Amino acid sequence: MNDVDSYRFPSDFFWGAATAAYQIEGAAGEDGRRPSVWDTFCRIPGKVFSEHDGSVACDHYHLFPQDIELMKSLDIRHYRLSIAWPRVIPDGDGSVNRKGLDFYDRLIDALLDAGITPYVTLYHWDLPQALEDKGGWRSRRTALAFDRYARTVVQRLGSRVKNWFTVNEIVCFTKLAYELGVHAPGVKEPPKIVNQIVHHALLAHGLAVRAVREFAQPGSLVGLVANPSVGVPAIERPDHIAASRLFWDRENAQCLAPVFLKAYPDWWLAEQGPDAPITEPGDLDIIASPTDFLGLNIYSGTFVQPREDSEGYTPLPLSAQYPKADLAWLNVMPQALYWGIRHAVEAYGVESVYVTENGAAYADRLLPDDTILDLDRREYLRNYLIQVQRAVAEGFPVKGYFAWSLMDNFEWAEGYSKRFGIVYTDFLTQRRIPKLSARWYSEVIRQNRVV
């Protein structure tokens, strides 16, 4: 078999691109939308780069028709988007905003008319500020409000949307937000409260799964999107592989074991002691509601090797010259994508995997001839896709891949200073300019192989 054949994907493998509502929509005060925790967080001095915010972002709220045409021109026929909770139910648990739902009606209809399949994420971090004022994810009330919101959205869009993601990256909107304080709402709570917050987020996921089962059209699919910590064996031999699996099991136990194993691990509960979350009867049954796939957002990983003690592994430090993208945390480690897929399948018996986010930020430069030669991003994506293809070739059930992101956008605490898009966004003029990586990715899609 030659290299061209070895990099080919199955005929039913799908290729897409992903975005999130707060990062691209803008129109933060239009048509009944009220503030989210990110609108508030962006106004706190020092929290977001240069106090940037998502009030305009990519103005996708008004420009979505041209963004759909852009996807068509790049052969992107699968699109992962998110719904803005504060646009649909502005107070979180109050009245439904008809104009908000009308926008998503127009968006979904336009995607379908263009031959693009929508994959809808119900929650990508934009909690209504009104709910945060009542306790936010600290309160079980928020999970119950999310249940109502999910049912509202699925009832409205479920006759046309067949693919659903419940919540995106629990770690980010719980631990980064309520423990480390680097994401909205930007507070630092003690471990017991943080553990309860994670439990409420897991409960919200399970309730959303049930909403899809009840209200979406028959045959609809639903799953969680996780951003697991991935251990990569420093040497691919049995003892290092076993160490990388131990790393996976330990690092991801709190957010994934309840979903797939219907329990918090005994060792984790023992470690937490009095800080363990309070669970009500039936909670774990809801959290473990059967799903159809696991979405994996993987950008980097951690090399590990075995250690002769109860821990069983040692994370390895990276040298100063180890390759990085344009973010301190984004170490270029393509093998993490293969091992993330493999660990998920072997640890939990996951029967279907989607790579829901993968990409890199680089300091793109717009040249005088209106081109962006982002060869660094192209090489990043190419090397990661080779690892996806390896997983597929070895029989792991990877069904599709979404590049992050379709376009440069509001990159959370980094504001507009970091660019992840395969399409360049001029935030002053709202011009969209496909980068070299976009043209390359279009050819990958066209040939259904890594080129």
Name all domains of the chain by residue range, CATH numbers in brackets.
3-447 (3.20.20.80)
Residue 1, pLDDT score? 45
Residue 3, pLDDT score? 52
How many CA atoms, within 13 angstroms, populate the side-chain half-sphere of residue 163?
A: 20
Torsion 231-236-241-243 (CA) sign = negative
Residue 201: alpha-carbon gap to chain centroid: 15
The yes-or-no answer on residue 179 being catalytic is: no
Look at residue 227 and give its three-state secondary structure: coil
Angle at which helix 375-393 crosses helix 436-447, to 10 degrees, equals: 20
Using CA atoms, how far residue 275 sits from 29, 193, 197, 412, in Å, is 39, 8, 12, 29
**Measured between alpha carbons, how far apart are the two ends of the chain, in Å?**
16
Catalytic residue (choose from 25, 169, 179, 411): 169
- For the stretch 246-281, what's the b/e string if a residue is b when 16 or more beta carbons lie within 10 angstroms of its beta carbon? bbbbbbbbbbbbbbbeeebeeebeeeeeeebbeeee
Phi, psi of 439, deg, nearest 5:
-65, -40
How many CB atoms within 10 Å of residue 46?
Answer: 7
The yes-or-no answer on residue 236 being catalytic is: no
Rounded to 5°, angle at Cα 255 from 41 and 306: 115
How many CB atoms within 10 Å of residue 134?
Answer: 16
Distance CA 90, CA 27 (A): 13
Catalytic residue (choose from 25, 132, 189, 357): 357
The answer to whether residues 66 and 105 touch, using CB atoms and an 8 Å cutoff, is no
Angle at which helix 140-157 crosses helix 191-215, to 10 degrees, equals: 20
Nearest to 78 by CA among 125, 15, 134: 15
Blockwise average pLDDT, block size 10, the chain, 451 residues: 73 98 98 98 97 98 98 98 98 98 98 98 98 98 98 98 98 98 98 98 99 98 98 98 98 98 98 98 98 98 95 96 97 98 98 98 97 98 98 98 98 98 98 98 98 97
Task: State the DSSP H helix or E strand holding residue 432, giving kind and residue range, or none if neither.
Answer: strand 431-434
What's the predicted TM-score (pTM) here?
0.98
Look up residue 347 and give its two tokens.
């640890």
Q: What is the Cα gyration radius of the chain?
A: 21
